[in-house]
Structure 1
Amino acid sequence: MADGIISMLPDLLPSTVYGYIDKEVKLVLDAKKDVEEYTGNLRAIQAVLENAEQRQVKEASVRIWLDQLKDISFQMVDVLDEWNTDMLRQQVEKQELEGENALVSLTLTECKVGIDKPSRKLNVHSSD
């Protein structure tokens, strides 16, 4: 019985490994698409915020709406920062496992998202 199972392993192992790798690659690619979409959304929000900041002095309803939009924007920035940090952490862990002494580079930092703390202004930059 055990011999039958062992003899099947060389045939089953490649397809099982391929299926696992394929699934993981799709997850990463989908996440990258989501990050790119969120970055685009943040750029659009930033443009609206700049316009609304000029109007908030005159209109109380605009001020309230602007505050809510800023809160959502800051939450989006936090999510993107956490995702980028996790990707970097995974790269460091992978290199530690492989024993490489090479510098870590985060290939997904094509977009840099941050908040200017003193003015709490949302900044979205692209290295393009």
Structure 2
Amino acid sequence: MAEALIYVLLEQLASVVYQHTNEAVKLVLNADQDVKSFSSNLKTIQAVLEDAEKKQVMEAKVADWLEKIKDVSYEMDDVLDEWNTELLKQQVKEEADTKKKELNEKLTSIAADRELYSFHHSAIVGLMINN
């Protein structure tokens, strides 16, 4: 059971590292060192989990140690979810910023094209522009 949790956490950490390629996201999350530290500790624990799971039947303190690992694993899962949410927020913000610039360029072009048609300002629009 604990081994499966550790494996899932390592996969999630790898996913965060993969998504961490954008420098702006690194600055927002500031998690690069944490990810490396988490991965290192999890790999160290993973190396002895099979033996620990066998020993937990005979030794209560080993069972307690495994329970602590499970508890921390769930907490880490929550943190990783928060990081992934932050990554997604950053991506959405960047996409929205790009889209706004594109829309503004299109509107500027359309506004400039109005002169091709010799349009006349309506009185209401003229008042709105002047105010």
Greater fraction of residues in helix = 2
Q: Which has the larger radius of gyration?
A: 2
Q: Normalising by structure 2, what TM-score?
A: 0.47
Greater RCO between the two (CA within 8 Å, min separation 6)? 2
TM normalised by structure 1 equals 0.48
Give the structure with the larger strand fraction.
1
